[in-house]
């Protein structure tokens, strides 16, 4: 049997390129976490770019002047929101930590009440199974309690580390200023320092990738911001009306995080919350939460087609696999990063995927 070394060399090279690409992307995201202030500045700059261009078009000002004006306005808004948000978050987190044991005790009582209301004899559920389920639920509450305490303690510790927060904020703002004002210069410098052959071969692919990823991040950030604003305003209104919503900012942040996850949505958090509140007998609050969720869903359905101008074209099952993989490899932040890596791989290997991955690797050309 004659082995075609030329064929297997090509196959091996394609596999190596695929593996190298995955490692390179993983390394890039590790670096992006390390350089988080610059990543945040880049995302904010993407959101400000249309406003800067609009101001340039209407006033005929140069890019640097328009960027400085928009940057100054943005700084005032960001600093105001940071001061208000941080002070509120510290207060709510501290209160939640102090009262967490009370809420866990209420959750225990709720589980016991639900178990007592269920007629086990009619459902023909073995009593041993019911006790096992009840113990599992209580064990989950214990784990959740420890997890929540750890997160809240870390949040309060991080926020109260004023020097560290100050450094991050200053670096982010400076990076945002330079990205907005010197965007053209930075692009020219990157092109200047790359080999000419790389520029010719990769410029189109890099531009397409940045455009696709930038559009996705900008659209998602805008949608999540809209959901967060509606939820935080709605929850504060509900609290002002006298309903039992004691931690509206923390709840809004949780809703915003879940809403940022592909496949999931704000209903993933708000519907169970309404059900739990209803089980505790507070039907008015449950209805208020459901009304707020309906408002958020309607606004999102109205706004999303106007913001998301392209379809990613990835089936939800693959997005779910990417989220799970990201979670196992990186942690909670991997739920957000996993789908982004999937989008990058799809953009880089679009032709390979269209042809069929295994066919593209093993078919003889």
Residue 50 lies in a domain: yes
Mean pLDDT of 285-307: 82
Residue 201 lies in a domain: no
Residue 235 has pLDDT above 70, yes or no: yes
- Selection from 73, 28, 70, 36 nearest residue 52 by Cα: 70
Q: Which pLDDT does position 114 carry in this prediction?
A: 62
Residue 199 lies in a domain: no
Q: Which pLDDT does position 275 carry in this prediction?
A: 82
Residues 71 and 185 grouped into a single domain:
yes
Q: What is the pLDDT of residues 304-321, one digit of tens each?
A: 666 655 445 566 777 788
Residues 124 and 140 grouped into a single domain:
yes
What's the structural domain count of the chain?
3
Residue 207 lies in a domain: no
Mean pLDDT of 131-143: 65
Residue 218 lies in a domain: no
Residues 241 and 318 grouped into a single domain:
no
What beta strand segments (E) does 7-102 contain? none
Residues 32 and 168 grouped into a single domain:
yes
List all residues 6 or more positions away from 73 whose beta carbon is below 8 Å from its beta carbon.
none
Mean pLDDT of 27-47: 80
Q: Which pLDDT does position 119 carry in this prediction?
A: 54
Residues 356 and 273 grouped into a single domain:
no
Which position has the token pair 């519907």? 271
Q: Which of 266, 282, 310 is the last residue of a domain?
A: 310
Q: Quote the Cα angle for 349-355-359, to 5°.
A: 100
Residues 61 and 75 grouped into a single domain:
yes
Percent of the chain with pLDDT over 70: 65
Residue 132 has pLDDT above 80, yes or no: no
State which residues form the domain around 327. Answer: 314-365
Mean pLDDT of 160-168: 70
Top-confidence residue, 204 or 24:
24
Q: Which pLDDT does position 163 carry in this prediction?
A: 66
Question: How far apart are alpha carbons 133 and 122 in whole angstroms?
Answer: 17
- Binned at pLDDT 50, 70 and 90, residue 96 comes out as confident
Q: Which pLDDT does position 300 carry in this prediction?
A: 78
**At CB < 8 A and 24+ separation, what contacts does 76-82 make?**
78/173, 82/169
- Binned at pLDDT 50, 70 and 90, residue 111 comes out as low
Residues 164 and 44 grouped into a single domain:
yes
Residues 172 and 266 grouped into a single domain:
no
Residue 53 lies in a domain: yes
Residues 267 and 359 grouped into a single domain:
no
Q: Which of 292, 310, 328 is the last residue of a domain?
A: 310
Residue 118 has pLDDT above 60, yes or no: no
Q: Which of 172, 193, 214 is the last residue of a domain?
A: 193
Top-confidence residue, 208 or 251:
251
Residues 36 and 131 grouped into a single domain:
yes
Tokens, residue 170: 């200053």
Q: Which pLDDT does position 174 carry in this prediction?
A: 87
Q: Which pLDDT does position 214 carry in this prediction?
A: 67
Question: How far apart are alpha carbons 239 and 292 in whole angstroms?
Answer: 13
Residues 288 and 346 grouped into a single domain:
no
Mean pLDDT of 8-25: 78
Contact 345, 21 (CB under 8 A): yes
Mean pLDDT of 257-285: 80
Contact 169, 41 (CB under 8 A): no
Q: Which pLDDT does position 331 carry in this prediction?
A: 73
Residue 212 lies in a domain: no
Residues 157 and 276 grouped into a single domain:
no
Mean pLDDT of 70-75: 86
- Binned at pLDDT 50, 70 and 90, residue 2 comes out as low
Residue 200 lies in a domain: no
Of the given ranges (33-47, 211-225, 283-297), which has the lowest mean pLDDT? 211-225
């Amino acid at each position: 049997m004659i082995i075609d070394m030329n064929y297997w060399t090509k196959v091996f090279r394609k596999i190596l390129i695929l593996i190298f690409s995955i490692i390179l992307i993983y390394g890039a995201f590790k670096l992006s976490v390390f350089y988080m202030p610059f990543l945040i500045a880049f995302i904010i700059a993407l959101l400000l770019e249309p406003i800067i261009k609009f101001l340039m078009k209407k006033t005929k000002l140069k890019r640097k002047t328009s960027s400085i004006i928009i940057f100054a306005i943005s700084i005032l808004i960001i600093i105001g929101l940071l001061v208000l948000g941080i002070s509120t978050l510290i207060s709510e987190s501290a209160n939640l930590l102090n009262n967490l044991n009370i809420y866990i005790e209420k959750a225990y009582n709720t589980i016991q009440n639900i178990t007592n209301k269920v007629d086990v004899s009619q459902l023909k559920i073995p009593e041993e199974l019911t006790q096992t389920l009840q113990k599992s639920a209580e064990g989950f509450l214990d784990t959740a309690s420890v997890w929540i305490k750890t997160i809240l303690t870390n949040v309060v510790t991080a926020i109260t580390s004023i020097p560290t927060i100050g450094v991050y904020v200053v670096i982010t703002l400076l990076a945002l200023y330079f990205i907005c004002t010197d965007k053209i210069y930075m692009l020219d410098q990157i092109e200047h320092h790359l080999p000419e052959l790389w520029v010719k071969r990769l410029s189109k692919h890099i531009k397409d990738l940045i455009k696709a990823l930038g559009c996705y991040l900008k659209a998602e950030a805008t949608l999540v911001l809209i959901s967060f604003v509606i939820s935080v305003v709605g929850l504060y209104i509900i609290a002002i009306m006298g309903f039992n919503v004691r931690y509206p900012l923390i709840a809004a942040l949780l809703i915003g995080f879940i809403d940022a996850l592909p496949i999931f949505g704000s209903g993933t958090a708000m519907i169970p919350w309404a059900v739990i509140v209803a089980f505790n007998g507070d039907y008015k609050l449950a209805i208020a939460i459901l009304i707020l969720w309906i408002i958020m869903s309607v606004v999102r359905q109205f706004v999303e087609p106007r913001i998301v101008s392209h379809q990613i074209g990835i089936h939800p099952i693959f997005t779910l696999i990417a989220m799970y993989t990201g979670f196992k490899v990186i942690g909670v932040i991997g739920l957000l990063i996993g789908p982004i890596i999937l989008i990058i791989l799809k953009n880089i290997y679009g032709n390979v995927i269209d042809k069929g991955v295994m066919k593209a690797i093993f078919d003889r050309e």
